[in-house]
Amino acid sequence: MEAMETEAKQRIQELRQLLQKASYAYYVLDSPIMEDAVYDQLYRELQQLEHQHPELVSPDSPTQRVGEKPTTQFTSVRHNIPLYSLENAFNVDELNNWDQRWRRQSPNAGAVDYVCELKIDGSALALTYENGVLVRGATRGDGTTGEDITQNVRTIRSIPLRLNVETKHGGSETSGASGASLPERIEVRGEAFLPLEVFQKINQERQKVGEAVFANPRNAAAGTLRQLDSRIVAQRRLDFFAYTLHIPGRDDASIASTQWEALELLQKLGFRVNPNKRLCSSLKEVAEYYEHWDTERLNLPYMTDGVVVKLNSFKLQEQLGFTQKFPRWAVALKYAAEEAPTRVENIAVNVGRTGALTPLAEMRPVQLAGTTVSRATLHNADRIAQLDIRIGDTAIVRKAGEIIPEVLRVLPELRPEGTKPFVMPSHCPVCGQPVVREMDEAVTRCVNASCPAILKGAIEHWVSRDALDIKGMGEKLVHQLVDKGVVHSVADLYDLTEENLYALERMGKKSAQKLVEAIAQSKNQSWSRVLYGLGIRHVGNVTAQVLAEKFPTVEQLADATQADIETIHGIGAEIAQSVYQWFRIDANQTLISRLKDAGLQLEIVLDAIAQNDDNQKLAGKTFVITGTLPTLKRDEAKALIQKAGGKVTDSVSKKTDYLVVGEDAGSKLTKAQELGVAQLSEEKLLEFFES
């Protein structure tokens, strides 16, 4: 028995090291060293061993990234070293003024080096490691006291749970730049942020379920970090750049004598450091760096609102010290928030699929953040009243850090005579029925289930990629079907014939045939996708999956009480009430009955494709996809291959059967050519599925 336990302990340690190395290569170096399937297999093996030997589970294990239970609250913690704010400068002249100020404090400094780093628009974190293991992650708070969010920090894949060091009882064997070994305790500072692509997807998801969108990635990151359920944090895929290394109670110079050396050491320890950093030998070089990124930052996959300039020498930093608020040796050289004045030509009101009325300012086109903006959200009636915005006003529009342009303020001194305050309509602008506004909501809604705007939104959601994924059913076609009275419900889609579609604009015989086939194929989509497609308020695709697992049939979910639904981990009262009430509406019960008659999957069943051996044309074949394909998105191509029994991996090897090649193919194509791997265009790939 003892020998078995020793063997298990050794294997657990080996698995943790392998998985840590793989995560570092994937998330930090962006250079995967193993296939996803291999990682998953090793991860499952580690899970099983830890389940069999719970006494061997440790906080730095990869299995501990997502907590089992949500926390009930965050506790306040005092920072070991205060997190100071940075003094701001908004142009090169103010940068020069900063340089002159610190030189008056240290007149003999002479020529110095400066380190420039992009100022990431996210949330600052303080990470504490003891003997190489992450023991605490805290928010900035007021700089002196923050909140302990360790459970959420563990979910961020680019934050190592264990540093790339070999620790002993008394410290670490890994040396800093000067040759000194790392002490038992170190603290790393950095910025947690949401990549723009992830931020946009989160907002799209929130919009689909009728939730308020985040104003910008910074707010979204901060809100995500303060989620009580770490599983939600994990789903939102936060990222992290480290920028400072502190040794509490010890001279930093014994580990690294400069900021540049500290950044290099952070990378060695396993952290992502922004690759766009620069070591400058003069203020002129700093100014060039600042001016370069003023435009280039628009091409980055994350938001940055300026440049952080630090004196490179730690010795000089220590001499200069701090004011009451700021370090004297650093400055944030900010980019001016991009704002522009424009004339409000009209205020329109859109109606979404949840019936929400959203006012929009239609404006004279203006250039903002590299794009032409002619519309900006006004959110709701409260925001309109706060702005006192009127047709004819000159408004200041902002898009700095914003994905959705918004009106910042109006200039009443430029207001034309005779303008009138804008009032939200009392009746739906689409169907003419009275609208309502609940006491506890800022949103005004149309509650007419037959409203064409609601119907159009419901169908667009139903056919969307994450729901029933009906290809060929675009927005224009949906509008035609509703406007011509061909479709009055999503269930009507399954009664469409080719003859119904011929009468529509730009719909040929072949297109009609393909669309009818696509609609028929959607009947094979899973119960969780159907549930998501129903568009129940607050039910996103992840929530739909959780509900479908708990209630494997539509009858079970329809019969569930609100209390039953609330017992599901991660489902709150608001979601439970929304689901419960949806199934109490007669029209929705009729819809479910019609969908069942049409043959849709309203219970968990085995994948129909997997059951049909004739469809497993690519069984045993391994594919890699590289570059941008002409029509398919990468995950769409991956899904096609997997449904046909094929396997899709991230890296080319001797075991790869085919490389699917699109535009701008990179190193994977070169490696495939070296190994003699067969190459396929998208057209050739699709031929596999035609016969």
- What was the pLDDT predicted at 609? 37
Q: Would you say 486 and 500 are in contact if contact means Cβ atoms under 8 Å apart?
A: yes
Indicate the domain borders of the chain. 1-56, 87-165+182-334, 339-416, 452-598, 622-688
Q: How would residue 264 be classed by pLDDT, with cut points 50, 70 and 90? A: very high
Structure tokens at 634: 């990468």
40 annotated ligand binder:
yes
CATH number corresponding to 622-688: 3.40.50.10190
d(CA 355, CA 448): 8
pLDDT of 6 over the 50 cut: yes
- What was the pLDDT predicted at 24? 66
- What was the pLDDT predicted at 36? 55
pLDDT in tens, 497-536: 988 887 787 778 888 889 999 999 999 999 999 999 999 9
3-state secondary structure of 178: coil
Q: What is the DSSP string of 495-548?
A: G--HHHHHTSTT--HHHHHHHHHHHHHGGGS-HHHHHHHTT-TT--HHHHHHHH
398 annotated ligand binder:
no
What 3 state SS string does 75-114 have?
A: CEEECCCCCCCCCEECCHHHHHHHHHHHHHHCCCCCCCCE
- What is the percent of the chain where pLDDT is above 70? 87
- What is the percent of the chain where pLDDT is above 90? 37
86 annotated ligand binder:
yes
Structure tokens at 80: 């070991």
Q: Would you say 159 and 134 are in contact if contact means Cβ atoms under 8 Å apart?
A: yes
In order of 20, 134, 157, 201, 272, the CA distances from 26 in angstroms are 10, 19, 9, 22, 11
The architecture in CATH of the region 1-56 reads: Orthogonal Bundle (1.10)
Closest CA to 156 of 272, 77, 264: 272
237 annotated ligand binder:
no
Q: Would you say 478 and 504 are in contact if contact means Cβ atoms under 8 Å apart?
A: no
532 annotated ligand binder:
no
pLDDT in tens, 454-471: 999 999 999 998 899 999
pLDDT of 62 over the 60 cut: yes
- Contacts for 38 with CB less than 8 Å, ≥ 6 apart: none
Residue 259 CB neighbour total at 10 angstroms: 26
Q: Would you say 446 and 430 are in contact if contact means Cβ atoms under 8 Å apart?
A: yes
Structure tokens at 437: 């506004």
pTM of the model: 0.49
Active site residue 21: no
What 3 state SS string does 551-574 have?
A: CCEHHHHHHCCHHHHHCCCCCCHH
Counting every residue written for the chain, the total comes to 691
191 annotated ligand binder:
yes
116 annotated ligand binder:
no
Structure tokens at 114: 């400066």
d(CA 205, CA 213): 9
Q: How would residue 570 be classed by pLDDT, with cut points 50, 70 and 90? A: low
One-letter amino acid for residue 329 of the chain:
W
Instruction: Give 115's strand partners.
Output: 279, 310
Q: Which of 134-143, 186-195, 438-447 has the highest mean pLDDT?
A: 186-195
Domain 87-165+182-334 has CATH 3.30.470.30: yes
Instruction: Give 678's strand partners.
Output: 658
pLDDT of 288 over the 90 cut: yes
Instruction: Give 410's strand partners.
Output: 395
- What was the pLDDT predicted at 468? 94
- Contacts for 14 with CB less than 8 Å, ≥ 6 apart: none
- What was the pLDDT predicted at 101? 93
- What was the pLDDT predicted at 178? 46
Q: Would you say 396 and 411 are in contact if contact means Cβ atoms under 8 Å apart?
A: yes
Mean pLDDT for 406-434 is 90
Residue 674 CB neighbour total at 10 angstroms: 9
Mean pLDDT for 175-186 is 66
CATH number corresponding to 452-598: 1.10.150.20
Q: How would residue 634 be classed by pLDDT, with cut points 50, 70 and 90? A: confident
Q: Count of alpha carbons within 13 Å of 19, Cβ hemisphere only?
A: 25
334 annotated ligand binder:
yes
pLDDT in tens, 111-138: 999 999 999 988 999 999 998 999 999 9
Mean pLDDT for 28-56 is 69
d(CA 252, CA 230): 33
Q: How would residue 380 be classed by pLDDT, with cut points 50, 70 and 90? A: confident
Helices and strands (H, E) in the chain, number of each type: 25, 24
Structure tokens at 308: 């952080």
The more confident residue out of 166 and 683 is 683
Structure tokens at 54: 């719970």
Q: What is the DSSP string of 388-413?
A: T--TT-EEEEE-TT-SS-EEEEE-GG
In order of 91, 392, 394, the CA distances from 341 in angstroms are 22, 12, 6
The architecture in CATH of the region 339-416 reads: Beta Barrel (2.40)
39 annotated ligand binder:
yes
Q: How would residue 600 be classed by pLDDT, with cut points 50, 70 and 90? A: very high
Q: How would residue 324 be classed by pLDDT, with cut points 50, 70 and 90? A: low
Choice among 119, 399, 643, 668 that is catalytic: 119
pLDDT of 237 over the 80 cut: yes
Q: Would you say 391 and 369 are in contact if contact means Cβ atoms under 8 Å apart?
A: no
428 annotated ligand binder:
yes
pLDDT of 207 over the 80 cut: no
93 annotated ligand binder:
no
d(CA 547, CA 553): 10
Q: Count of alpha carbons within 13 Å of 128, Cβ hemisphere only?
A: 16
